[in-house]
Structure 1
Amino acid sequence: MARIRLSALSPAASGVVGFSLGAAAILLLPGNLANALGLLSAGLGLAGATALSRRNAAREREQLLAAIGEVKVRLATNAIRVDSMAKRLDQMPMGEADAAPAKAMLHELTAEVGLLGDLLQQVATTLGEHDDQLSRIEGRLANPPPQPARIAALVPERVEPHAPEPLIATRHDPAEAAQRRAAEERAALISEALAKGQVEVHLQPIVSLPQRRTRGYEALVRLRLDEKTLLLPSEFLTTVEERGFGPTLDALVLTRALAIARHLGSKPGELFVSCNFSAATWGSSRALAALSRILEKYHDHIGNLVIEVPQRVFRVLEPASLGLLGAMSANGVRFALDHVADLRFDPVSLHDRGVRFVKVSAALLLAEARGGKLADIAAGDIAVQLARGSIQLVAEEVEDDPMVADMLDLGIAFGQGIVFSPPRPVRPEVFAEPQPAEAAQAPKPATAMAPPASAEVVEHPAMAPPPAVKRVPFRDILRRATA
């Protein structure tokens, strides 16, 4: 006979057994002893049902956590397999046009695997927090805090210790309250301007050295509060990120940058425009996925777009975000590394991730040239090292002509700064939607040449159609000339 496991029983079984034994004791035994034994059996049955239900819940929770861990292990294994497939694809003798769709699909798979891993991590974290809260509640119920003795009635009501402190507090409260109200009003104005889409983009050119010919532009965001107030990023970005409007601002800036890219695509010279994203967007794979969907809608213009990524953010990107960046790069988006604080680069790795520009402050390059320790090679060789990986070094924040001469001595071919041009607003017609080609080529109706509906005018000799011109082949003309 198979052994019965108590843990396999349903919690209701214990309660049913307890009540059954209690009823049997009441019916069979006489007097008060029967009632006592019946109540005891029923209580033991309820206690056993509660214990079994708790044990089953704990076992199911452990099984759920184990399943989540197993799924995470499988996701990690699949991510490794996808990475190996990408490496094999790079080694295959295929053209860039043939390999681009496969690379985009692999990057999308990597991003999906990363998103699933994030969701599983959130589920596990939520379950852990739920268990902690339950344990705290049970601990409070088991050990209630001691209630203070009611001796308040013994203290006279008219005795108020520390009387001078409220007077001192009231002296400082108005100034702090006024500052708090001003900050809240300013934050409300910023939020309202952002909700209305009052975002302006100013462009600062990126030029080639030494010719100073414009090669591209950087889109710098401004926020318009009213006709006389235009805020710089340092004045509103903190409020925007604290209120969670960073992805909204980035979507507005990206849409305007794509409109500028569309305008630059119609001009010769392969000009480009670069834009930045907020820290909240780089830290959220969902926000990056939303921006990648915007890029898919404007796929024809992303060849003239460059997205700037801070170096500290680029080095700590999660697998999901790296997969999304890889998908963007496979679709034609180029990236630029900015806010550089470490001059040690791996050009091959940067190029594989879609980086085509590295923007370094001119002051940092000069400090490195004068004996800094931020690079393993000489400052004059950094541009050559990056150029071997098809990456251009851009010296930004160039302030005067002597600094331009120093950049030329370091072999830097691109520059950006106030010495070339300050940021300037974009003309409104750049953001206008282009007219359809059929409407642009349609001839204007010639109403003045329309003849009146009269038979006499139609039969008039002056209105007769001109004689048809007889076309002679060029060979006949040539034959007559040489005859």
Structure 2
Amino acid sequence: MVPVLGRYAGLLTVGLLGLVVFGPLAVFLPLWSALTLGALASGVASLALTRIATLKARCEKLSGEVDLLSRRLLKVETAAANAAVQPPPETAEAALLAQIEELTVEFGLLSGIVRDLTTVVSTQDAEIADLKARPEIRPENPPAPAPAASPEPAPPRPRVTAAPPAAHRAPPDAPPMAETPPSAPTTPARSIPPRPFPPQPARDPGSEAEIIRAFEGEGLEIHLQPVVTLPQRKVVAYEALARLRIGGTPVPVEPETFLPVLERYGRTTELDRRMLQRAAIVVRHLARRGSETTLTYGLSPLSLFEPGLLRELARTAADAPPLAGGLVLALPQASWRGLDAGQRSLLAALRDRIGFSLDRPDDLRFDAAELAALGIGQVKVPADMLLRSGSGRGGLSDIAVEDTAPALARAGIRLVAMDVADEADVPDLIDLDVPFAQGAAFATPRPVRAEVLSAPPTETPTPPTEPEPERRPFRSVLRRAV
């Protein structure tokens, strides 16, 4: 009560004074009292209006401050929502690294294609220069009658012989023809440099057409050659070899005959794709039989520049678990040494799904640690390179030949001796501690049976021993209860 009276004490005082003063005046001077009361009322009204204007200004100021605070709060809430939606810095960094790696792969592939185009163009320039440098073919002139009187016999003109056709032309390193008479001078042979990429023998349009026709038809076959242990000769692996049956011949031809033609027509990737499909069928067949043998296929170096093939193989291996432990891809030593960043990333994606092998080596300089880092688990070396390494074929390694197999074995890599054709070489390979061998001395390549290739790719699941209880939704139980 006291705070209320203290707050309104002024008003009460004025009211009491008005009653005391204006009460008697209202009785004796009513006109003057009315005028006075009107003046006081107007003053009070003006004070009230002034107070109302002041309060209104304060309210507007407070509303502006509240609006500013609400905007700031909305901005803070928006920032918090964006921070919750955006990934953490670790995820953003991983996504950035993935994008950088993808760009690196694309740049690597483009650089490989440009390098191949440069090699092909340089080879074509060399062929054009060689064609321009060849002597012009002139027809032989008929023998002219001898002159009547000549003080000195004219020197014999050199006889220019037409070059043989391309189908019967001898290779550059072949010996000279035996039919050339010793007295007739011949044009000195001009050495043609070897073609680095791809090797192209003398072209025969008829035979090339037959090869392409057989390849597009049903002429492609897959043959298997076993890899055995030494000295037990137990089969532990197979190598898938491509053979082509041309024109219904009883014996299919080997890759040395048809592979250069397929390289010239750009069909090597299709060859690898078809061979890998059949190799996958063979691996599944071996897995169904419970065999632990692996299957190796030598991939063409040109297929490294086709990322679609390797990605398709990775998807196939992911969908088929038997391929993870049964299929091995082999690449030449030169291809392993010349891998770019894009090819390394594509092969790294296959590392945990498919095995890798090194074959067709140029020398015996094997870095076991580097090969193991690339995921290579097998090295295939020709038997002649191991037994006759000092005959000039291939460069010598920093270690002795007899220590090659143990050094690779310490890194988890097994050494396989290839092309063992003579039975007398087997004891020498055993003395070199070579654990595995492959060649005609053990078994020749044989075709895969047609029923294996025509078998369904997937197995029929075995029925469970006990029937599982049927699970029904709770709504159906309620409906039956009702």
TM-score by length of 1: 0.55
Q: CA deviation at 1:209?
A: 0.8
Q: CA deviation at 1:392?
A: 0.3
Aligned to 2:158: none
Aligned to 1:217: 238
Mapping 1:140-159, distance limit 5 Å: none
Q: CA deviation at 1:302?
A: 3.2
Distance 1:122 1:349 in 2: 22
Confirm whether residue 412 of structure 1 aligns to residue 402 of structure 2.
no
Counterpart of 2:332 (choices 307, 310, 321) is 310
Aligned to 2:374: 353
Aligned to 2:130: none
Aligned to 1:196: 217
Distance 1:375 1:181 in 2: 36
Distance 1:112 1:195, change over 3 A: farther
Aligned to 2:208: 187
Aligned to 2:348: 326
Q: CA deviation at 1:190?
A: 1.6
Choose 1 or 2 for highest CA Rg: 2
Q: Do the aligned residues in 2 keep the contact of 1:108 with 1:324 (CA within 8 Å)?
A: no
Distance 1:114 1:166, change over 3 A: farther
Confirm whether residue 271 of structure 1 aligns to residue 261 of structure 2.
no
Aligned to 1:159: none
Aligned to 1:337: 358
Q: Do the aligned residues in 2 keep the contact of 1:258 with 1:302 (CA within 8 Å)?
A: no
Distance 1:185 1:299, change over 3 A: farther
Distance 1:254 1:354 in 2: 20
Distance 1:438 1:189 in 2: 41
- The amino acid across from 1:244 in the alignment is G
Aligned to 1:116: 106
Distance 1:404 1:181 in 2: 37
Confirm whether residue 395 of structure 1 aligns to residue 395 of structure 2.
no
Confirm whether residue 261 of structure 1 aligns to residue 251 of structure 2.
no
Partner SS, residue 361 of structure 2: coil
Distance 1:211 1:279 in 2: 34
Q: Do the aligned residues in 2 keep the contact of 1:193 with 1:225 (CA within 8 Å)?
A: yes
Distance 2:277 2:419 in 1: 26
Q: CA deviation at 1:267?
A: 3.3
Q: Do the aligned residues in 2 keep the contact of 1:369 with 1:380 (CA within 8 Å)?
A: no
Q: CA deviation at 1:175?
A: 4.8
Counterpart of 1:206 (choices 215, 224, 227) is 227
Q: CA deviation at 1:389?
A: 0.6
Q: Do the aligned residues in 2 keep the contact of 1:355 with 1:391 (CA within 8 Å)?
A: yes
- The amino acid across from 2:338 in the alignment is V
Partner SS, residue 343 of structure 1: coil
Distance 1:106 1:421 in 2: 53
Q: Do the aligned residues in 1 keep the contact of 2:420 with 2:441 (CA within 8 Å)?
A: yes
1:151-209 CA distance string (max 9 Å, x none): xxxxxxxxxxx9965999xx959955999998112212222222235310111100011
Partner SS, residue 388 of structure 2: helix
Q: Do the aligned residues in 1 keep the contact of 2:390 with 2:396 (CA within 8 Å)?
A: no
Q: Do the aligned residues in 2 keep the contact of 1:338 with 1:360 (CA within 8 Å)?
A: yes
Q: Do the aligned residues in 2 keep the contact of 1:369 with 1:379 (CA within 8 Å)?
A: no
Q: CA deviation at 1:436?
A: 6.5
Q: Which residues of structure 2 form unaligned runs of 5+?
A: 1-92, 116-135, 143-160, 170-200, 465-482
Confirm whether residue 427 of structure 1 aligns to residue 449 of structure 2.
yes
Aligned to 1:94: none
1:26-72 CA distance string (max 9 Å, x none): xxxxxxxxxxxxxxxxxxxxxxxxxxxxxxxxxxxxxxxxxxxxxxx
Partner SS, residue 401 of structure 1: coil
Distance 2:245 2:363 in 1: 35
Aligned residues: 303
Aligned to 1:472: none
1:129-156 CA distance string (max 9 Å, x none): xxxxxxxxxxxxxxxxxxxxxxxxxxxx
Distance 1:282 1:436 in 2: 29
Q: What's the Cα RMSD here?
A: 4.0
TM-score by length of 2: 0.55
Partner SS, residue 231 of structure 1: coil
Distance 1:367 1:108, change over 3 A: farther
1:348-380 CA distance string (max 9 Å, x none): 221121100011111111123899961111111
Distance 2:420 2:447 in 1: 20
Distance 2:253 2:98 in 1: 37
Q: Which residues of structure 1 form unaligned runs of 5+?
A: 1-84, 86-101, 126-161, 443-483
Distance 1:265 1:122, change over 3 A: closer
Distance 1:166 1:243, change over 3 A: farther
Distance 1:363 1:439, change over 3 A: closer
Q: Do the aligned residues in 2 keep the contact of 1:108 with 1:323 (CA within 8 Å)?
A: no
Partner SS, residue 321 of structure 1: helix
Counterpart of 1:250 (choices 269, 272, 276) is 272
Mapping 1:71-110, distance limit 5 Å: none
Distance 1:438 1:314, change over 3 A: closer
Aligned to 1:445: none
Distance 2:385 2:447 in 1: 28
Distance 1:438 1:250, change over 3 A: closer
Aligned to 2:21: none
Distance 1:124 1:259, change over 3 A: closer
- The amino acid across from 1:401 in the alignment is E
Aligned to 2:85: none
Aligned to 1:382: 404
Distance 1:438 1:354, change over 3 A: closer
Aligned to 1:27: none
Partner SS, residue 243 of structure 2: strand
